[in-house]
Structure 1
Amino acid sequence: MPDIRTMYLQVLQVLMQSGPEEARSYSSTLKPLISSMPPQEVTLLHDRCMRELTGPARPEDVVLYYQQSFQILSEAISFCTSQSEQVGREPSRRFTDRLMQDSSYPPSNSKYENVLQHMDSGIALFDQEGFLSFANVKLGQFLGLPRKSMIGRTFYELVRLRKLSRGMRKLLIKLHREMFVYRLPFQEVLDEKGQHFLVTAKYDEELDGDILISVKDVTDFKRIEQSVYYNDKLAMLGKIAASIAHEIRNPLTSIRGFIQLLQPELLRLGKQDYADIILSEIDRANDIIFEFLNSSKPTAPVKQKIQIASLIKEVVLLFESEALLKGCDIQLSESDPNLYVWVDVKQIKQVLLNIVKNAIEVMSDGQKEHGLIRIRTIKVDHQVWIYIEDNGRGMDQKTLSKLFDPFFTTKEDGTGLGLSVCYRIIKNHGGVIHVESEVGEGTSFRIQLPLN
């Protein structure tokens, strides 16, 4: 006969593969095995099994698995509770209360409470009168409150605690409305620090009016999910670029050739301007296709040793006259002449040109009387950091979060591929590109490249 852990794993696997309804039929075989277990041991068993099962799972599925598994855990604890009360043992439904109050369960020595206290999820139990009867350490960390200051309080007393931040207070009020009033079983929320939390509530008749709350930090899962989403977009971009290159580039070349052949005739008719416009528009279309191709083909950099100061000076010389015409200055700080990097010169120059060009275009919109672009380099450990800063109009957080996404642009005639290509180039060099910006305060790009 399989052991309890194997059976529990099987129930959770069925849950993930076939859904809750199918898992319930399997859990009926499991219930006799756990009937003699304290709820604390069931919680520990559940936590270990979920860690094992979600390890190889796709990031986007992990959150869903935890949502569904919480229902299995609650049913298992409720079953243990009913069994212990039927045979006259210590009632387990309020095992958390007993851990806090009964001298036979010393909080400092109870290994079961330690399990609950050190779970990676925040656990809270509100009794039927609305008082918080149990809260573990992780919940206190999430809320930024001492655990002891929360026990025995109602929800309204909790949100009035002075140590609770304003942002967290608003978040708790929203959760109360969604989960306590509207009885929604789970919510995914974002706190003031940008952390993602999955909050699950269990309302069950077997809990006799109690409400069991679980809070799990899923920030890492969200970051992995965003990374997967970004890679999927790049894959889609590659397919689109290849299709465009084959379907459009060849006809454009033919059209351009015929227009050039017709130029003498158009010149005789006084229509040379038409030919010039057609040729410039064809060249612009070819440039867009070229950007698509660069975005879809992650070519490996061909590196060579170059003085970083000379590379940046070349970029400044290329834009110096254009910047003056558009009413802004480029200020280049002195760099260490002995600072060399191994990079693909063409690719890194493309990154610097793109960022400086964007800064000039932003500051030429008339919002600033005098635009200023500052470029400086510093050595930090085994890296060189290149700062490109401007005093333009800046960006909000929503724009910043999508800045390197393919096709995202704030320009009327932009393709949304320039910064996406820059991001890929720096990543292929083993570096990092970081952006900080505030509306009305300007923008700062920081490019970090390894020295060797």
Structure 2
Amino acid sequence: MNGWKARYFPILAEFAQSGGNAVRAETQQLSNELIGLPTSVILRHHEESVQFLLSNAEPKERITVVQRSLTFITDLLVSLRAPEAAAEEARSNKFETVLQHMDSGVALFDAEGNLRFVNVQMSKLLKAPRRELIGSTLFRLFFHRSLSLSVRRHILRVYRGLALYRRYHDEFQDAAGRHLLVSISQPDELDGDYLVSVKDVSEYKLIEQAAFQNDKLAMLGKISAAIAHEIRNPLTSIRGFIQLLNPYLSEIGKQEYGRIILSEIDRANDIIYEFLNSSKPSAPMMQKVSVDMLLRETALLSESEAHMKGCEICYENFAPELAVAVDVKQIKQVLLNLMKNALDAIQDVIGERKGRIAISARQEGKFAIISIADNGKGMERATLNRLFDPFFTTKEAGTGLGLSVSYRIIANHGGTIRVDSQIREGTECKIYLPCVE
């Protein structure tokens, strides 16, 4: 302690006399010795040293001594603060780097509504450069030229939920179909500032929908197991008695009644079979097969119906050697079901344009992707979200089981089905199946 005090006065005096030009090294050495000392102790000793300097200085030199003494203590305290400030800046830079690389969008508003910080992910979600957003007020964001109309509407919706209902969490779907989860918090550490985070939860939604779909199909299986046999047994009895009554119906000229009853019983049996198959399709009998062969046969089987409806089928295979291990009968059932849906969709717009179904295949990673795309009427998003629900149908004579059956078959093969559709433009169904060498 006494060591630094003994050196302090001579260095200060030399600094005051020379203006600091001759004692930079000594000042730095003194600064190193003072690290860790309380600022109040240093200031107290500095004031005592300055008073002693002033008592021995000429009156005309006192102003200069005071000015240079002030410069000396300021530089000294800044040099003592520098390591701590550098460490704080390093921590701040590290935290900002973490925020910039988060997969969630992060924005910081002050209490007056000024945007103070936006990370890269938030900039991508808003589709606007960060430099054009930072500094904007909340009101300016409602009319910001770099933000699309849909984005500005979502910002207004979040603001209204916060202002009117104190709703700090919200979830919505943007124009691109992404599910976004918005959260607003006001931590005590931010001194009144608002932290806004936006996370794209589309993948989690897909997983949730798949789990929900499996739950519904499992429930459907339990129902079908309970009632299927109870319905089919009396239908079999009725069919047998109608066949016995056929000769008597022919005698009275009512054989047509018998034919209609039998055809309706057969149709009811087909519906029950579809119902059972939708809840639990039989285990696939796997065999290696060429995707090219599957699609060529599917196109050939659908060609006559497509020709009758004035529709053109185009087939293109971008990976001729592509092969999959599947149950051929079940996969053909899926492909023909999707082709029939495509033909039905095209039939509604056949007067506006020539119908066209494009079938293609390609490889993407470990999956073979089979695409069936039509230029039909397309579907609304509400319909698209319920497409694989059992018993959901938009057709007057449909059972709503075809696509749920197809979904379960593909799932049993370790694959999935994805559907994209635009109103008045058409629909594309993609089947993902694991490919084999």
Does structure 2 retain, via aligned residues, the 8 Å contact 1:124–1:135? yes
Equivalent positions of 1:267-282 (< 5 A) are 267-282=250-265
User: Of 117, 129, 132, which residue of structure 1 is paired with 2:112?
Assistant: 129
User: Of 424, 433, 439, which residue of structure 1 is paired with 2:417?
Assistant: 433
SS of residue matched to 2:325: strand
Q: Tell me the distance in 2 between the aligned counterparts of 1:353 and 1:128.
A: 60
Does structure 2 retain, via aligned residues, the 8 Å contact 1:244–1:289? no
1:194 paired to 2:177? yes
Distance of aligned partners of 1:386 and 1:262 in 2 relative to their CA distance in 1, 3 Å threshold: same
Q: Tell me the distance in 1 between the aligned counterparts of 2:367 and 2:107.
A: 46
Distance of aligned partners of 1:439 and 1:218 in 2 relative to their CA distance in 1, 3 Å threshold: closer
Which consecutive residues of structure 2, in runs of 5 or more, have no partner in the other structure? 1-84
Does structure 1 retain, via aligned residues, the 8 Å contact 2:317–2:362? no
1:74 aligned partner: none
Equivalent positions of 1:201-212 (< 5 A) are 201-202=184-185, 210-212=193-195
Q: How far apart are residue 294 of structure 1 and its match?
A: 1.0
Q: How many residues align?
A: 351
Q: Tell me the distance in 1 between the aligned counterparts of 2:99 and 2:429.
A: 44
1:26 aligned partner: none
1:401 aligned partner: 385
1:223 aligned partner: 206
For structure 1, which segment, 394-403 or 208-217, has the greater mean C-alpha deviation from structure 2 after superposition? 208-217
Does structure 1 retain, via aligned residues, the 8 Å contact 2:348–2:377? no
1:390 aligned partner: 374
SS of residue matched to 1:394: coil
User: Of 182, 201, 217, which residue of structure 2 is paired with 1:234?
Assistant: 217
Q: Tell me the distance in 1 between the aligned counterparts of 2:392 and 2:212.
A: 14
1:160 paired to 2:143? yes
Does structure 1 retain, via aligned residues, the 8 Å contact 2:349–2:377? no
Larger Rg: 2
CA deviations on 1:77-101 (whole Å, 9 max, x unpaired) are xxxxxxxxxxxxxxxxxxxxxxxxx
Q: Tell me the distance in 2 between the aligned counterparts of 1:132 and 1:306.
A: 58
SS of residue matched to 1:250: helix
1:248 aligned partner: 231
Q: Which amino acid aligns with 2:148?
A: S
% identity of equivalent residues: 55
Does structure 2 retain, via aligned residues, the 8 Å contact 1:245–1:289? yes
Does structure 2 retain, via aligned residues, the 8 Å contact 1:367–1:393? no
Q: Tell me the distance in 1 between the aligned counterparts of 2:325 and 2:169.
A: 50
Q: Tell me the distance in 1 between the aligned counterparts of 2:334 and 2:115.
A: 55
1:285 paired to 2:275? no
Distance of aligned partners of 1:318 and 1:121 in 2 relative to their CA distance in 1, 3 Å threshold: closer
1:178 paired to 2:161? yes
For structure 1, which segment, 353-362 or 286-295, has the greater mean C-alpha deviation from structure 2 after superposition? 353-362
User: Of 303, 328, 344, which residue of structure 1 is paired with 2:311?
Assistant: 328
Does structure 2 retain, via aligned residues, the 8 Å contact 1:363–1:371? yes
TM-score between the two structures when normalised by the length of structure 1: 0.66
SS of residue matched to 1:106: helix
Q: How far apart are residue 290 of structure 1 and its match?
A: 0.8
2:35 aligned partner: none
CA deviations on 1:276-308 (whole Å, 9 max, x unpaired) are 111111111111111111111143311223444
CA deviations on 1:93-113 (whole Å, 9 max, x unpaired) are xxxxxxxxx999537755555
Distance of aligned partners of 1:350 and 1:114 in 2 relative to their CA distance in 1, 3 Å threshold: closer
CA deviations on 1:202-225 (whole Å, 9 max, x unpaired) are 469998765444434433433332
Q: How far apart are residue 171 of structure 1 and its match?
A: 0.9
1:262 paired to 2:230? no
Does structure 2 retain, via aligned residues, the 8 Å contact 1:140–1:146? yes
Distance of aligned partners of 1:178 and 1:379 in 2 relative to their CA distance in 1, 3 Å threshold: closer
Distance of aligned partners of 1:355 and 1:121 in 2 relative to their CA distance in 1, 3 Å threshold: closer
Does structure 1 retain, via aligned residues, the 8 Å contact 2:377–2:423? yes
